[in-house]
Every structure is written in C-alpha cells, then in structure tokens.
Amino acid sequence: MDRRLYFLIPDRAEALTVVDDLIRSGIDIDHMQAIGDQHTRMDGLPTAAGRHGHAAGPGQRVAWTANTVCFAIAVVATILAPAFIGLSWWLLLPIGIMAANFLTGLYLNSATSKELNLFRDALAHGEILLIVDVPETRATEVERDIQRHHPHAATSDGWSSHAMGL
C-alpha cells in the first residue's frame, strides 16, 4: 500500500531540487505532483495536468476507475435491459448503480478539496505543495531524507494520510 507524503516548500528552486532528490532516490516522477496558486511558477515541476488532473491518491484512483467501469456497465444495462427482460423494476438496478457512482464521485472530489484546504494560506503566499506517493515501507526513509537535505521544506508530520483514505 502506498502512503501519501506532503512537503510544503518555500519556492520553486527548492522544489526543483527536492524533486530531483526524490527521483535520484528511486521515486518515479509519475508519483509526484506539485501544487501552487495561479501566481506561482510551476514549470519543471510535476503538475496535475501532466498526471491525472487532480490530487487523487492511489486508493482514490482505484475508486475512480471502479466507479467508471460500474457506470459504463450500468449504462449498457439500462439500454439492453428493456430489450431482453422488458420494462420492469429490474431497470431500476442500473439507475441505482449510476446514482451510487455519482454520489461516490462527489464524495471523492470533496475529500480531495478538503485535504488541499489545509494548505490554502501557504499556497497563497507562493509556497509549493509537493505531494508524493511512496510505498509505505519507504515513507519514513523518504521523509527523513527530505528533512535532512532540505530543512526549509516542511514535512507532512500530522498531515499525511494513507492513500486508501485520503
């Protein structure tokens, strides 16, 4: 299982060196995402647009994929059910699946937004939030290395969450 680490970094130059150090330590850039406000220079940093378009963790990505597959099955069932079993209460099953998937999507989106609200003030001051998904067995090592080599980067003590939750 992966663990999500957060590093609040004061500026772009420091963020670039943190990303380089993480890559040298074996963390894939696809498992990193830098977030800043609209006035912060982000070029050279791994951003949401290059990844998945949101700050979802591994558990959330699995949930989104399952959500999409279930939704597609429900749409097909809605179209095919009347042809094979006629119009009956069975038609409510795919509609119920679609409604459940829609509500799950709303929940996942709001959970991510709440998570990022913790950093709103810092981002407004030009700081950069670097989100890194690492194997749980390496989380302490990675966090310790960043603290040692980049003392200005605030680590995720108290902010981190297991990827299956948030």
Tens digits of residue pLDDT in 30-81:
899 998 888 888 888 997 654 444 455 556 667 777 777 877 777 777 777 6
The neighbouring-strand residues paired with 40 are none
pTM over 0.85, yes/no: no
Whether 112 has a pLDDT exceeding 80, the answer reads no
Q: What is the mean pLDDT of the chain?
A: 77
Work out the average pLDDT over 137-149.
Answer: 91
Work out the average pLDDT over 23-32.
Answer: 92
Phi, psi of 2 (to 5 degrees): -90, 155
Q: CA 2 to CA 158: how far, in whole Å? A: 17
**Cβ atoms 128, 11 nearer than 8 A:** yes
Q: CA 30 to CA 41: how far, in whole Å? A: 20
Q: What percent of the chain has pLDDT over 70?
A: 71
- Residue spans of the domains in the chain: they are 24-133
The alpha carbons of the chain give a radius of gyration, in whole angstroms, of 20
Quick one: tokens of 87? 């119009």
Quick one: tokens of 100? 């459940």
Work out the average pLDDT over 118-145.
Answer: 87
Q: CA 88 to CA 43: how far, in whole Å? A: 55
